[in-house]
Amino acid sequence: MRFQTLQMSCLKIVLLHCFIGIALSVNAISLSEKSSNQNNVLYFQSHEETLQLALTMTNGSCQNTSAFFCSDNYTCCKANPQSKVPFVCCPLAEAVCCPDGMHCCPRGTFCDMINRRCYSKGENVHIIQYWNYMSPQQLKTREKAKSVPKTVPCADGSQCPDGSTCCQLASGGYGCCPLVQATCCADHVHCCPNGYKCDLSAGTCVKGLDVVAWSVKQPAEKPKKIQKLTESVVCPGGQAQCPGGATCCKLQSGDYGCCPYVNAVCCSDGLHCCPNGYRCDVDQGECKKGDSSVQWFLKVLAKPVSENVEVGLNSVRCDDTWSCPDGNTCCKLASGEYGCCPLPRATCCDDHIHCCPNGYTCDVSAGTCNKGNDIVAWLSKQPAKVVGDVQCDDTSSCPDGNTCCKLASGQYGCCPLPKATCCDDHVHCCPNGYTCDVSAGTCNKGNDIVAWLSKKPAKVVGDVQCDDTSSCPAGNSCCKLASGQYGCCPLPKATCCDDHVHCCPNGYTCDVSAGTCNKGNDIVAWLKKQPAKVVGDVQCDDTSSCPDGNTCCKLASGQYGCCPLPKATCCDDHVHCCPHGYTCDVSAGTCNKGNDVIAWVNKKAANIVH
């Protein structure tokens, strides 16, 4: 019985070997015939390679033709018969061309057409990498070579060779992916062919069942000539300006925006722009030049010509307390405060840390921004700046970005420019660095002469009054403490929590059990209240007092009057008063401090204390 079983086993082995031999012979004949018809050579390097049906096609000879060629460090391969071009370029030097006319493998390997991989040659057969995708767009003609080499412009002013794609590097600069309309991987190092997705864990490019090796980006080149960014470009009309190297483009609002390219093409949608030489495809949302296309760019609002670069007058207001620079987007942080995303109309991510470009969605688990097959790295928000009025003195202030200037009355006015020059007429002001020519009514800086500006009255600073005895700073909210007294929540129109200790931003509800502020799916940390300050009138004597921030001054009647200035100087006429540090000139009716002469102030009757 054992002998019969052994005979059957031997017979099966013989038949199996015969079947394999016949199959391999048939495959070899059919493949060699197909290969010879396409001027290809079939190599069977080893038994393992034969089992894998490995086909190695000789490199195409387009390098020796007068019509076509590939760039340096590329290999020319014969294209798939269905392709519109006779040759394609493999992004590897001295590569092995695969017989499908679409893929290639590194030198010293062979193509595994079944498993779509590159294997090493030799005794120990092992996988080298997933194969590379060959781009027909890399193929060039001799006629094109005679013309000026084309480049693909990147957003930072650098450029990549024609047929490449600009991809942002981890450094913030741009690298060149050697593929047309490539997918930039989120690791800021690699890229994949158009239509493929980056598999960061496997280090490959995936499209359905097709897996190819990803490419490494090369640093982009800086143009030989680039306009200095310190030289501003003044837009038509002379009222707005863009940074050097940018182009002024009209926005939908009629104002000017700045496109980050020299001599750019302004798109008709009033929002986007394209590099010089490209045309705007508004329907597709991209810039086209022949068969080449690049993404278009969003314009940034231009700045007023008179604006100081260091201070943005057109800052984005988040709420009554916070603001972000122009061209940014306000996004809530986990603390409940605001951060600034350095993109206009950005998408704020749910982690309260990152943000994505407009139209993209946040993939918090992957740390990327997604829009269809387009995946880009997300950005971190920057802390927003506190919107604080410019404090002139204890009783008056000007809006952020203004300058406090004394008026003829002795009170303060607001010049609508940062760090402005206050003119001696106590009415006008000039931009920073300019001098006032009062006789001509102009602002001068060398040969540059501009019209001066009129000041506006400063607003009186008032604390938020909680009750008759306590108040909170401007921009705060009064909230009751457990003691029954008031505390100050450092947010305007805040929600006071029932624990009498914490508060939440306006529109949020307090979750006392979790210690958070909730608004739908938005959850932020709550804030602690600060004790309110006690409001006390200034006591003149046992029978009269003045409001907080005033000074008691004797009237001619012997009673007290109130000067609406803190620590004021009471004038000897018993009617007027001057600011602290000034002396009264009763004969002239002014307040003097060195060469500074201002009008004095009338006292008001004090309150009778009951």
Give a yes or no: residue 226 inside a domain: no
38 with 127, same domain?
yes
**Residue whose structure tokens are 């017979």:** 11
3-state helix/strand/coil string of 532-592: CEECCCEECCCCEEECCCCEEEECCCCCEEEECCCCCEECCCCCEEECCCCEEECCCCEEE
Give a yes or no: residue 26 inside a domain: no
Which of 23-37, 94-108, 143-157, 377-391 is predicted least confidently?
A: 23-37
566 with 485, same domain?
no
Q: How sure is the predictor about 531, in pLDDT bands with cuts at 50, 70 and 90?
A: low
Give a yes or no: residue 126 inside a domain: yes
471 with 553, same domain?
no
424 with 503, same domain?
no
CB contact at 8 A, 598 and 422 = no
How many C-beta atoms surround the C-beta of residue 227 within 10 A? 14
Q: How sure is the predictor about 270, in pLDDT bands with cuts at 50, 70 and 90?
A: confident
Number of domains in the chain: 7
CA 368 to chain centre: 14
Which of 3-17, 152-166, 451-465, 557-571 is predicted least confidently?
A: 3-17
Give the side-chain half-sphere CA count within 13 A for 334: 6
CB contact at 8 A, 186 and 366 = yes
Please name which of 561, 549, 544 lies closest in space to residue 602, comparing C-alpha atoms. 561
Say yes or no to pLDDT of 20 above 50. no
pLDDT of residue 248: 85
Last residue of a domain, one of 501, 534, 567: 534
59 with 124, same domain?
yes
Give a yes or no: residue 310 inside a domain: no
Please name which of 283, 274, 297 lies closest in space to residue 343, comparing C-alpha atoms. 297
Phi then psi dihedrals of residue 9, to 5 deg: -65, -45
Tens digit of each residue's pLDDT (9 = 90 or more) over 334-361: 767 777 776 778 888 887 777 777 787 8
Mean pLDDT, the chain, whole residue set: 68
Give the CATH number, domain containing residue 425. Answer: 2.10.25
For residue 589, give its domain range: 539-608
211 with 242, same domain?
no
Terminal alpha carbon distance of the chain: 127
Last residue of a domain, one of 138, 161, 186: 138
**DSSP result, 324-369:** E-TT-EEEE-TTSSEEEESSTTPEEPTTSSEEE-TT-EEETTTTEE
How many C-beta atoms surround the C-beta of residue 129 within 10 A? 16
42 with 121, same domain?
yes
**Residue whose structure tokens are 């090796």:** 213
Tens digit of each residue's pLDDT (9 = 90 or more) over 21-57: 333 333 333 333 333 333 222 222 222 332 232 223 3
Last residue of a domain, one of 499, 516, 534: 534
47 with 121, same domain?
yes
pLDDT of residue 603: 59
For residue 23, what are its two tokens? 């199959």
For residue 269, what are its two tokens? 């949608």
